[in-house]
Amino acid sequence: MSGSSRRISPGVVFLAVALIGSAVFAVYAVTVRDASQIPLLAAGAAALGIAFIALAGYALRATWRSGIAGRNGRAIGMAVGGGFAAIIGAGCVAGAIILFLLSRPPT
């Protein structure tokens, strides 16, 4: 085998499982056609938002470490990707809040 092999960190595996799992749950919530659809959509959006915000935090750490190591191109790429993840996460959390408010019965 050749010299340097790249290892996948446990954090990346955890984030990949969280993103895939929450996306599958959100897709399932879209297919449900009964009274529990709105709360399921809210829960799916909240799970997806939390996963994307965690991804943004991971990208922040990777940006910091790449910047310290002098890998400026990688640092910029991680910063842009982390920024997009933070925007998507914030949008999902905002959508979940709106869906939670819509799912409550009127008073």
Question: Radius of gyration (Cα) for the chain, nearest Å?
Answer: 18
Whether the CB-CB separation of 59 and 51 falls below 8 Å is answered with no
Distance between CA atoms of residues 67 and 59, nearest Å: 12
Domain ranges across the chain: 10-103
Check residue 5 and give its pLDDT. 67
Predicted pLDDT at 34 = 81
> In sequence order, which residues have a C-beta less than 8 Å from that of residue 34 and are 6 or more positions away?
none
How high is the pLDDT of residue 36?
78
pLDDT tens digits for range 35-93 = 778 888 899 899 999 999 999 999 999 999 999 998 899 999 999 999 999 999 999 99
- Reading the block at residue 86, the tokens are 């933070």
The whole-number pLDDT of residue 4 equals: 58
pLDDT-derived band at 6, boundaries 50, 70, 90: confident
